[in-house]
Amino acid sequence: MFKLIKAAFLGLIAMAFTASSYADITFVSWGGAYTNSQQKAYIDTWSKGSGVTVESYNGGLGEIKAQVEAGNVTWDVVDVLPDQAITGCDEGLFEKVDQSEFLNDLVVPPVSECVVPQIFWAYTVFYDKAAFPGKKPKRMKDFFDVKKFPGKRGIHTWANALIEMALVADGVKPKKVYDVMSTPEGIDRAFAKLDTIKDHVVFWSAGSKPLELVSSGEVVMAIAYNGRIGAAILSEGKDFEYIWDGTVLEQEYLVAIKGGKNTAEALEFMAHASSAASNAEQAKYIPYGPMRKSSINIIKKGEPWFIKEGGNIDILPHMPTTPKVLKKAVIADPYWWADNGAEVSERFGAWKGN
Amino acid sequence: MQISPFLFGDKIMNERTADPILTTEGIPLKVSLQKAERRNKIRATLLVAPLLFFILITFLIPIGDMLLRSVDDSYINTVFPKTFEKYKKWDRQGLPSEELYKTMFFEVKEGSGYSIGKATTRMNYAKSGWKSLLKKSKRKFKKIEEGPYKEQMIAIDKRWGDMEYWKALGVMVDPTTAGYYLNAVDLKYNVDKEIVQQKENRRIYNHTWVKTFKVSLLVMFFCLILGYPISYLLSTLPLKYSNLLMICVLLPFWTSLLVRTVAWMVMLQQKGVFNNLLVMANVIADENRFKLMYNETATIIVMTQILLPFMVLPLYSVMRTISPNYMRAALNLGASPLHAFWKIYMPNSVPGISAGCMLVFILAIGYYITPELVGGKDGQMIGNWIAYHLKTTLNWGLSAALGAILLGVLTVLYWVYNKLVGIENIKLG
């Protein structure tokens, strides 16, 4: 017995030593189905010396800024939104990266010198088909029409995309949305449109929440991240339907935090994570649109691409980056938000609270 | 000086001479005593040192840092020192001179990208648009080789010719600012550095302050109403029952805050357990389900449940010390039960009430995660805005100002309480 304990103890020590000879990369992302897809697409296939520890966060640069200012950086690679990618790169929170490998392969140019491409995701309105037995909502303006389609709406607690959607619902062409938003009257117009559903909204802040809200019948329609809707339809067999009209496309990037303990490895990992193959691979598990043109081609050739037990499924109908969707979609402008985000957010806060 | 004779022997007591009193080793007693005491003092200090150090590192320094951040505006001065020097001479009538433009031009062109990036975040608080203006300018200035600069800068972006942008710089010239505090109460500096009200559709904080106090007071009140009888019961029941009841009070205390909050969501939402039961029992119609979740009501209900143990525990420990004989005596002397309670029991339990109310109120006022999860659009409190500015807008100055005001308000409340009730009247057990 004693020998056994001793052996186990020595084993533990040995494990501790082998583990500590490589520092793990800490990869921070949003959790849920999204992080799951990242895990399968490029974390599990990462075979360099170090392991990868995955953590979740709720976005924002606050924690990153705190780590960098305190000189105690514990995160290495973080999955960020474009406006954070801009601000963080400007303020020197992120490492600059070599972008030559993918620069000519992207659907839109990268927002800063610190990023490697991930995916396009979208704020998309969806509903449970059972909630509308008769006429079904089809356009963004239906989401804002509580007379025609009564019931609560699930919306997120911040202003991004809601301003754009309100304007599309009010008749602004998707391509003209930011021209209108750049005038004070345009913002007033968006808030006036939001007023029409104000008494009918339920707010959510975690990405899994709108799906629960719609599933439980707490709301009849909700805005959600399109990948979560897709995952619910494809993997859980939910009978949800998208409203692609006025959907707002956002970019998603990876960055390396400056002053991390293993920056060199983090950069290597990012190169692996942003390769055309990895970008395409991710779409096997979640219907977000790759940013790399070559990845989209890989998927097209590989359909049915989405992995499911009992037969794979075509993924392109669930992607926000098909030409059909792009025609009706707004591509979010991170520069506009970096500039006006604080002001509009405060106004949105006032709108929410009063 | 009175010293016990047993401590130092007969010698001291008997020899009352002019000579200093000596110990058996021949050292004056005073010195020897001091020595012994010093040793004790050092020992005591060493024992407290880790705690002192801990409090200094985790409490005093962060609070000091927070207070500094709430007024600090010096960073931007280190990025544009020359521009601000020249700026002070500008008469604010008409566009600045070529000289000021030139200084700004070179400080933008030659400044490090990171420091300008950080500065623009600050400048954007004063006027939205500075961020993109400077970012664009930084890129384009590289191509400009020689002056005059004014026209070329305006040609790059017409905002360089907009007085509002130049005037907005004036708010940032001083190394300290009251601007964050103003923002925290819906005021602001306009571009001429006069204090004005925030635009009506951006006023959020006063409203939230009022709400925060209202919710905290209500939570405190409900905790007291609910906690008082339980504590009474706990303190009067025989030990074997009261222990069981105590576990019931403490059990939620041991459960994760998030689990409890989410459990309430399941209970209270429109298609949740509570509403379903009522509909099933035909108490309410299906379309008239109560709206108990994602609003202020939800915040109050859930916070009351979560904070209840903080009321019960001090109440219980004080009530346990109230002798049942007092009440018996009062009843025996002819007081009605209500009268006896009001005149005898209640005043005796005041220290517990005070302690419980203080604890619950102080905890409630800074609450953040529960309102965030169940508060919906009208149940958000000031803590949510602090978190929002910390995490999302990176406006740490404003976060710090909001936090400092919260700290100030609590200090004032504590002071008032001390004047009215007396702090020695608080008892936790």
Query: Do residues A80 and A228 both lie within one domain?
Result: no
What is the nearest CA distance from A73 to chain B, expressed in angstroms? Answer: 16
Q: Are residues B141 and B223 in the same domain?
A: no
| B271:A218 CB<8 A | yes
**Claim to verify: residue B246 and residue B343 sit in the same structural domain:** yes
Q: Which residues of A311-337 are buried (b: 16+ CB within 10 A; e: fewer)?
A: eebebbebbbbeeebbebbbbbbbbbb
A and B: number of Cβ contacts within 8 A: 94
Q: How far apart are the CA of B229 and the nearest CA of chain A, in angstroms?
A: 36
Amino acid at B88: K
Give the list of residues 6+ apart from residue B413 with CB closer than 8 angstroms, or none.
B361
Structurally, chain A folds into a number of domains equal to 2
Considering CB atoms only, which of A58, A59, A201 is closest to B377?
A: A201
Output b/e per residue, B273-308; b: 16+ Cβ within 10 A.
ebbeeebeeeeeeeeebebbbbbbbbbbbbbbbbbb
B189 located within any domain: no
Q: For residue B198, is it within any domain? A: no
B417 and B272 in a common domain: yes
Q: Assign 3-state DSSP to chain A and report helix, strand, coil percentages, each to 5.
A: 45, 20, 35
- Same-domain status, B83 and B60: no
Give the model's pLDDT for residue B2. Answer: 46
Task: Please check whether residue B36 lies inside any domain of the structure.
Answer: yes
The per-residue pLDDT for A20 is 44
B219 and B314, same domain (yes or no): yes
A192, closest residue in chain B (CA to CA): B201
Q: Identify the pLDDT of residue A17.
A: 44
pLDDT in tens, A168-194: 999 999 999 999 999 889 999 999 999
Expressed as residue numbers, the domain containing A27 is 2-120+251-316
Point out the residue among A92, A203, A340 whose CB comes nearest to the CB of B376: A203
Contact B385 A349 (CB under 8 A): yes
CA atoms within 13 A on the CB side of B304: 18
Query: B12 and B113 share a domain?
Result: no
DSSP state of A117: E
Amino acid at A225: Y
> Both ends of chain B: CA-CA distance in Å?
36
Mean pLDDT (whole number) for A31-37 = 85
Query: Would you state the pLDDT for residue B34?
Result: 87
Per-residue pLDDT at A7? 56
Q: Which two tokens stand for residue B388?
A: 């929002």
Q: Is A94 helix (H, G, I), strand (E, B) or coil?
A: strand
The verdict on A328 touching B (C-beta cutoff 8 Å) is no
In-domain check, residue B421: yes
Domain count, chain B: 3
ipTM of the complex: 0.73
pLDDT in tens, A314-325: 888 898 988 888
Separation in Å, CA of B119 to nearest CA in chain A = 9
B380 in contact with chain A, both atoms CB, cutoff 8 A? yes
Q: Is A126 left (phi over 0), alpha (psi -120 to 50) or beta?
A: beta
- Say if residue A204 is in the same domain as residue A349: yes
Indicate if A183 and A224 belong to the same structural domain.
Answer: yes
Residue B195 lies in a domain: no
Contact in structure between B342 and B205 (CB atoms under 8 Å): no
Instruction: Choose the mutation target among B377, B388, B399 for the interface with A, i.e. most A CBs under 10 Å.
Output: B377
CB pair distance less than 8 Å for B391 and A59 = yes
Same domain, B99 and B220: no
Residues A116 and A232 in one domain: no
Q: pLDDT for A214-232, tens place per residue? A: 998 889 999 999 988 998 8
Residue A245 reports pLDDT greater than 70: yes
The count of other CB atoms within 10 Å of the CB of residue A205 is 13
CB contact under 8 Å between A342 and B269, yes or no, is no
Looking at this protein, which amino acid is placed at residue B82?
Answer: K
pLDDT at A5 > cutoff 60: no
Chain A residues in contact with B208 by the CB 8 A cut-off are 353
How close is the nearest chain A Cα to the Cα of B188, in Å? 13
* Count of beta carbons in the 10 Å neighbourhood of residue B11: 13
Alpha helix ranges (H) inside chain A = 2-21, 32-38, 62-70, 82-90, 140-143, 162-169, 177-181, 184-195, 209-216, 226-236, 263-273, 276-282, 293-302, 323-328, 334-353
In a domain, B48, yes or no: yes
What integer pLDDT is reported at residue B92 of this predicted model? 84
A8 and A90 fall within a common domain: yes
Q: How far is A83 from chain B (nearest CA, A)?
A: 10
Pick the more confident residue, A163 or A7.
A163
Tell me if chain A has a CB within 8 Å of the CB of B138.
no
**Same domain as A91, residue A7:** yes
Does B269 lie in the same domain as B324? Answer: yes
Contacts with A, B 25-64, CB within 8 Å: none
The type of residue at B305 is Q
Assess whether A136 and A209 both reside in one domain.
Answer: yes
Check pLDDT > 50 for residue A141. yes
For residue A339, give the nearest of B131, B392, B393 by CB distance.
B131
Sign of the dihedral defined by the CA atoms of residues B226, B228, B229, B234, in that order? positive
Q: Are residues A215 and A136 in the same domain?
A: yes
| pLDDT band (50, 70, 90) for residue A8 | low
Q: Give the range of the structural domain holding residue B55, as residue numbers without chain letter.
A: 5-69
The structure tokens 């980056």 sit at A321
Q: Is A195 on the interface with B (CB under 8 A)?
A: no
A63 to chain B: closest CA residue = B391
Put simply, whether A208 touches B (Cβ < 8 Å) is no
- The two tokens of residue B140 are 């384009």
Task: Output the pTM of the full model.
Answer: 0.79
Q: Are A115 and A26 members of one domain?
A: yes
B182 lies in some domain: no
Beta bridge partner(s), residue A256: A77
Q: Hey, which residues 202-221 in chain B have their CB within 8 Å of chain A?
A: 202-204, 207-208, 211
Nearest residue in A to B121, CA atom? A87
Domain match, B101 and B142 both = yes
Domain CATH for B330? 1.10.3720.10
B246 with B363, same domain? yes
pLDDT tens for chain B, 429 residues long, are 444 444 444 454 454 556 777 777 778 888 888 888 898 899 999 999 999 999 999 989 999 999 999 999 988 888 999 999 888 888 888 888 888 999 999 999 888 888 888 888 888 888 888 888 898 888 888 888 887 888 899 988 888 998 888 988 888 888 899 999 999 999 988 878 889 998 887 888 998 999 999 999 999 999 999 999 999 999 988 888 888 888 888 888 888 888 999 899 889 988 889 999 999 998 888 888 888 888 889 999 999 999 999 999 999 989 988 998 999 999 999 999 999 999 999 999 988 998 899 989 999 998 988 998 888 777 789 998 898 888 877 889 999 999 999 999 999 988 888 887 777 766 665
* A180 and A328 co-located in one domain: yes
- Find out whether B401 and B385 touch, Cβ atoms under 8 Å: no
Chain A residue with Cα closest to B270: A218
Is the confidence at residue A54, as pLDDT, over 50?
A: yes
In a domain, B148, yes or no: yes
Whether residue B356 sits in one domain with residue B281: yes
For residues A184 and A240, membership in a common domain is answered with: yes
Query: Both A35 and A70 in a single domain?
Result: yes
For residue B121, give the nearest of A63, A87, A343 by CB distance: A87
Residue B175 touches chain A, beta carbons under 8 Å: no
The per-residue pLDDT for A9 is: 53
Q: What is the pLDDT of residue B18?
A: 61
Q: B298 with B161, same domain? A: no
Q: What is Dmax (Cα atoms) for chain A? A: 80
Query: Which one-letter amino acid corresponds to residue A8?
Result: A
For an interface test with A, give the residue of B199, B273, B274, B393 to mutate (most A CBs within 10 A). Answer: B393
CB within 8 Å: B394 and A354: no
Instruction: Give the CATH number of the domain where residue A25 resides.
Output: 3.40.190.10
